[in-house]
Amino acid sequence: MKKVFLVFILNLAIFIMGLNFALAQDPNDPGFPDTVWISQVLMSETVDPLGWPKQFAVKCSIFTDEGLAGIAIPISFYHSQNLDILVDTMFWSEWVDDAKPDIEGLQAQNDSVASPDFIAKGFLGSAVWFRDSLPSSRDLLFTVYFNEDLFSVINWDTTRGIVLDTLTFYPGGMPLHFVTPSAEIFVPIFKYGAIGGVVTITGRMYKPDGVTPDSGAKVFFKGKDILRISGEDTLFSEGRKGVVKTDASGNYQILVGKDAYWCVFRDTSTQMIKDTNAYCFDSLTTDTSYIDFYGEYLPGQGTVISGICYKTPPTPDENKEVYLDGDLNDFTTTNSSGYYEFNVKKGGNYCVRVKSDAEACDSTYAYIFNSLMDDTFYNDFKGDKPGGWVFISGTTWRTPPESLPEQKVYLTGLVRSGVSVAESTISDTLGNYKFRMVERGSKYYVFMDTTGGLDTAYNAYFFKRPKVDVSYIDFVDSIPGARAKISGFVYHSHDGVPWENASVYLYGYDLNNVVFRKDTTFTNSLGNYEFNNVLMGLKYCVFIDISGGMDSTNSYCFDSLVTDTANNNFIAPGVDVEEESKEAVPEHFALFQNYPNPFNPYTLIRFALPEDCEVKLEIYNILGQKVRTLVDGFFTKGIQEVVWDGKNQKGREVASGIYFYRIKTKKYTEIKKMVLLR
């Protein structure tokens, strides 16, 4: 069926934009407000007895108790199945008391069937003004004649109505409204007759979180035209389209033609998919409500990718471009807080990057998501790479080693001036929890109970500008604790001199007496060592040399550690006897046991020379392969010593394991075993 579409728009161009529309009521009859009336014409009256279309007229009149200076009447006439109809002529009526409308620049334009978007054209650049104020009465405004040119009306469908609505189908348009001589603008009630009907689509827009109303958001709608080729074939083509905005509460309302095909959606840049990012109605016959959106998608169909871009944490990078690739290609810029957000289809594959190079979609420069089903946050960038955060983690305990699962832990603090943080989490079934914080954030507190106030000496941990991850932030029954410290001193017995860089070892045993923790530390320049974050309630042993087996003479063991323990001191083994006679000339060649042993990565090797001679000292692995030559030269008589740093001849670190060191002179050769334990 040939389609021709005509829309009448009379825009009031000289009124001040932005005035609030108000619904005016008739003071003499509160139940009868100011109204625009459309005469009733049955579709059965638009055809002759033989079924051929005939000319008919639609009359528009108004009632108001206000003296009017002008009226804007964007009333659209169209078939309820979105078919175009032809409006042949339109006559403005004479007004009582010679209040004739002053109409300027009227130019009727029929909308063609081939028009791709059906933007309202109608009477362009015109306004309706009254030379004198319109008196308070109900009067005829105009008459519209249809089907005057019967050759343009083919297959006139009397099963559908002619829809009249008062929306302008383009952004920024005004609805039907009256204007008083004092420039007050108000919206009347719109009444329509039996020649057609409209239905209302209402809903609410939320941010992608599904909770926060999205005010001022655009909501788009469009229909489909049906062009019947034959009795069986039907062709759909692009139909009417329009846009409205949500109010302060995120609510919106759309009036569309009854019995027609309509779709409502949020984003015009992506493919419209029914029941994913669009609501579509095949034949909308009644008002429909709760047509809600979460972001750009129907509830449950979309998900969110978000994060913050930092120049150098915690300083945000404002107006930073962030790119989205994959099943959806898009880009956005960060706000003043460095925040960005993408609303994407659930189940898709995506890459998020800040480098403009599309080839940067790898884990070095981007976040990669495959079959994304849930919202994902904290996809932060530090410069051009993922980063900008640190983690604080720990465990909640009942009495170590018995954990206390599913406990609430809190994090509060100040990221930077004006930006605070307050979060909570629940420890898992093993009592473990973790917080993610902005790197170098100003200050953070972690706690479980602040009944007596926040006190770092009693119930909270405090962190200032953390640069690295922090672990073992444990609680025992909501009180910071569960971890102890083992410390001590290593020295020479003959003079008490500290033994610097000595290796000290820690073994931890579980409840089945199986070693679950092996740790190593080194003495400082004062000979002191310490092991921190040792979980209470378990057995631990500390030693420096157990090459001959572990016993009470060479180790400290604690069956159930419940508090810090200090003064776990050691005398440097296998060295001090020789230290006493170091200045004396040895009577025999000798190669002493290295110290410490096991070691990581340094160990001291000492040997005795009763005379001046050439000495070669070499390191071999367990396969008999030479690893390194430590000494190859002339030495004077006396006690000599050399340090091996655990590296081979090329300066590369060697693996843990058993090694042998061999001394060779013209008169003496000896080999000893040592253990490198990294």
Q: What is the pLDDT of residues 37-73, one digit of tens each?
A: 777 677 777 788 877 778 777 777 777 766 777 776 6
What distance in Å separates the CA atoms of residue 555 and residue 542, rounded to the nearest whole number?
Answer: 6
Q: Specify which of 12-16, 412-416, 500-504 reaches the highest per-range mean pLDDT.
A: 412-416
Residues 6+ apart with CB under 8 A from 332: 321, 322, 324, 340, 341, 342
44 and 158 in a single domain? The answer is: yes
The more confident residue out of 330 and 284 is 330
What distance in Å separates the CA atoms of residue 655 and residue 674, rounded to the nearest whole number?
Answer: 13
The more confident residue out of 252 and 257 is 252
Is the residue at 8 inside a domain? Answer: no
- Over residues 68-81, the pLDDT tens digits come to 777 766 666 655 55
CA distances from 356 to 324, 334, 338, 478, 479 (A): 11, 15, 17, 48, 49
- Over residues 399-448, the pLDDT tens digits come to 898 999 999 999 999 998 888 999 999 999 999 999 999 999 999 999 99
What's the pLDDT score for residue 187? 63
Going 532 to 537 to 543 to 546, the CA torsion angle's sign is negative
Is the residue at 6 inside a domain? Answer: no
74 and 170 in a single domain? The answer is: yes
50 and 83 in a single domain? The answer is: yes
- Over residues 340-365, the pLDDT tens digits come to 999 999 999 999 999 888 778 888 99
Residue where a domain stops, chosen among 356, 386, 416: 386
31 and 167 in a single domain? The answer is: yes
Is the residue at 11 inside a domain? Answer: no
Residue where a domain stops, chosen among 359, 386, 413: 386
pLDDT at 27 over 50: no
What's the pLDDT score for residue 307? 94
**C-beta neighbour count of 591 within 10 angstroms:** 18
Q: What percentage of the chain exceeds 90 in pLDDT?
A: 36
Residue where a domain stops, chosen among 294, 311, 341: 294
Is the residue at 162 inside a domain? Answer: yes
366 and 428 in a single domain? The answer is: no
* Prediction pTM value: 0.54
Across residues 370-399, what is the average pLDDT?
93
Structural domains in the chain (count): 6
What's the pLDDT score for residue 496? 63
Q: Which residues pair with 226 in a beta bridge?
A: 236
Is the residue at 314 inside a domain? Answer: yes
Across residues 280-301, what is the average pLDDT?
89
489 and 550 in a single domain? The answer is: yes
Across residues 329-339, what is the average pLDDT?
93
397 and 494 in a single domain? The answer is: no
The more confident residue out of 425 and 156 is 425
Going 468 to 472 to 478 to 483, the CA torsion angle's sign is negative
From the number of C-beta atoms within 10 Å of its C-beta (0-12, 13-18, 19+), residue 587 rates as exposed
Is the residue at 5 inside a domain? Answer: no
Is the residue at 7 inside a domain? Answer: no
pLDDT at 381 over 90: yes
The length of the chain in residues reads 678
Domain with 232, as residue range(s), is: 198-294
Is the residue at 467 inside a domain? Answer: yes
The more confident residue out of 241 and 419 is 419
CA distances from 61 to 44, 64, 91, 182, 342 (A): 23, 10, 12, 22, 49
What distance in Å separates the CA atoms of residue 109 and residue 120, rounded to the nearest whole number?
Answer: 10
CATH code of the domain in which 561 resides: 2.60.40.10
Q: How confident is the model at residue 530 (pLDDT cuts 50, 70, 90)?
A: very high
Query: Which of 166-170, 171-175, 188-192 has the least mean pLDDT?
Result: 166-170
Residues 6+ apart with CB under 8 A from 396: 403, 404, 405, 407, 409, 427, 431, 433, 448, 474, 475
- Over residues 570-599, the pLDDT tens digits come to 887 654 444 444 456 888 899 988 877 888
What's the pLDDT score for residue 529? 93
From the number of C-beta atoms within 10 Å of its C-beta (0-12, 13-18, 19+), residue 132 rates as middle
62 and 176 in a single domain? The answer is: yes
What distance in Å separates the CA atoms of residue 338 and residue 348, rounded to the nearest whole number?
Answer: 25
The more confident residue out of 210 and 183 is 210
What's the pLDDT score for residue 229? 42
Give the pairing type, strands 408-416 and 419-426. antiparallel
398 and 461 in a single domain? The answer is: yes
CATH code of the domain in which 181 resides: 2.60.40
Across residues 145-149, what is the average pLDDT?
68
88 and 211 in a single domain? The answer is: no
pLDDT at 608 over 50: yes
pLDDT at 489 over 70: yes
566 and 582 in a single domain? The answer is: no
pLDDT at 126 over 50: no
The more confident residue out of 602 and 486 is 486
Mean model confidence pLDDT for the chain? 77
CATH code of the domain in which 203 resides: 2.60.40.1120
Across residues 511-535, what is the average pLDDT?
89
361 and 393 in a single domain? The answer is: no
Torsion angle of C-alpha atoms 415, 421, 424, 430, degrees rounded to 10: -10
pLDDT at 111 over 80: no
Nearest to 505 by CA among 464, 547, 470, 473: 547
